[in-house]
Amino acid sequence: MQRIIKLSTYSKNGLYDITREVEGVIRESGIRNGIASVYARGATAAIMIQENWDQSVQNDVITLLNRLIPSGIWEHDRQDDNGDAHLKAGLVGASEVIPVIDGKAGLSTWQNVFFCEFDGPRSLREVIVTVIEDRQA
């Protein structure tokens, strides 16, 4: 089963918690055991599993990436001034695979699924969630 989650972003760089939406797709699939692939559609966005206890970890992720990959110094900036966004998205990665266990996302207490925006704000971003059943289970 496959669904597209649509969202809007409101900052140039930010992490957006999409855990509930991903869990909803898993529930809707009816699959008890398998995997859920979560994929960010777009060359300047990514998916990350991270803690969501408070905003500090998400802020630290953005601070780290901005220090590692500052804006305004990349060759690609001559085309559309977002070279850093492409590099951040490539470093973090476009997707995560989450186990589906007894019909639920196999995340720990402190893990959440985040859409990572590196070239916002955007009125429309898409995340593709694909749930695949383990027929051996």
Tell me the per-residue pLDDT of 35-55, one tens digit each, with 9 for 90 and over: 999 999 999 999 999 998 999
Give the chain's domain count: 1
Beta-bridge partners for 49: 113
Residue whose pair of structure tokens reads 């690609």 in the numeric block: 76
Residue 22 lies in a domain: yes
The residue segments making up the domain with residue 105 are 2-132
In a domain, 137, yes or no: no
CATH classification of the domain holding 99: 2.60.120.460
In a domain, 50, yes or no: yes
Mean pLDDT of 5-23: 98
**pLDDT, tens digit, for every residue of 77-112?**
999 999 999 999 999 999 999 999 999 999 999 999
